Structure 1
Amino acid sequence: MTAYALAHMTPQPPLPEDVFVYMESIQETMDPFGGRFIVHASETEVVEGPFDGAYVIIEFPDMDKARAWYDSDAYQAIAAKRSDHIPGHLVLLQGVPPDYDVAATGKALRAAQAG
């Protein structure tokens, strides 16, 4: 099942050289794990609530590949070039199967909450 690395970043210009080195190097760390960018700090249209920063979403074939990428020597060698200069959060998320039924999930949660 597809997994995602989701980052919410709040970069503060001007960006230091380390960030450019990170950006120029990250794809090669993702390639062995089947990672690809889905969103990279694209234009954001805020439709509800306050928002600051930018999102990055990277898709992986599964959670094992996403974890392996994050833990890899290649990624860890460059990670601080971003995290030392751009505040934010990075999480790994499990996707849902193609036949996912949110209504069924809602019903199951309602029943569980009712006890």
Structure 2
Amino acid sequence: MSVYIIGLIDVQDPEGYPTYSQQVPATLEPYGGQFLVRGGQPEALEGTAPERVVVLAFPSAEQARGWYESEEYARLRPLRQQMASGHLVLVHGVDVPS
């Protein structure tokens, strides 16, 4: 069963944000992570939509936490926190019948 990290992000520094976002993909590979959603044009059906939505998929919770706590991502996290605010949550997926 896959595990997801979902980010609801509001960017305060759109010119600087690519400095962070361009470096993230390389940090995912060792943990089996991949982008399912990256930015897009969120549309609020209820509540308020953030500027960006990010959905990362990982094979396991251990790999998702391993990525988040890795030295590679720990180096980038302060960049994101300086240029954007938001929420990151780890959620477990469900098995979908074929």
Q: TM-score, normalised by structure 2?
A: 0.87
User: Please, which runs of 5 or more residues in structure 2 have no aligned partner?
Assistant: none
How far residue 13 of structure 1 moved from its aligned partner, in angstroms, is 4.6
Partner of 1:98: 96
Partner of 2:18: 20
Q: What value does the CA root-mean-square deviation take over the aligned residues?
A: 1.5
Give the distance between the partners of 1:49 and 1:77, measured in 2 at CA.
33
How far residue 95 of structure 1 moved from its aligned partner, in angstroms, is 1.1
Give the distance between the partners of 2:6 and 2:46, measured in 1 at CA.
19
SS where residue 82 of structure 1 aligns?
helix
Alignment size in residue pairs: 97
Mark the CA change 1:77 to 1:13 in structure 2 (over 3 Å): closer, same or farther.
closer
Q: Which amino acid in 1 is paired with 2:65?
A: R
How far residue 45 of structure 1 moved from its aligned partner, in angstroms, is 2.5
User: Please, which runs of 5 or more residues in structure 1 have no aligned partner?
Assistant: 100-115
Instruction: Please show how residues 49-88 of structure 1 align to structure 2 within 5 Å.
Output: 49-88=47-86
The correspondence for 2:39, drawn from 23, 38, 41, is 41
Greater strand content: 2
Give the distance between the partners of 1:15 and 1:88, measured in 2 at CA.
18
Give the distance between the partners of 2:38 and 2:23, measured in 1 at CA.
15
Give the distance between the partners of 2:76 and 2:40, measured in 1 at CA.
22
Give the distance between the partners of 2:50 and 2:69, measured in 1 at CA.
28
Q: Which has the higher contact order (CA 8 A, sep 6+)?
A: 2
SS where residue 84 of structure 1 aligns?
helix
The structure with the larger Rg is 1
Q: Which amino acid in 1 is paired with 2:27?
A: T
How far residue 96 of structure 1 moved from its aligned partner, in angstroms, is 1.4
Identical counterparts, % of pairs: 32
| Runs of 4+ in structure 1 over 6 Å off | none
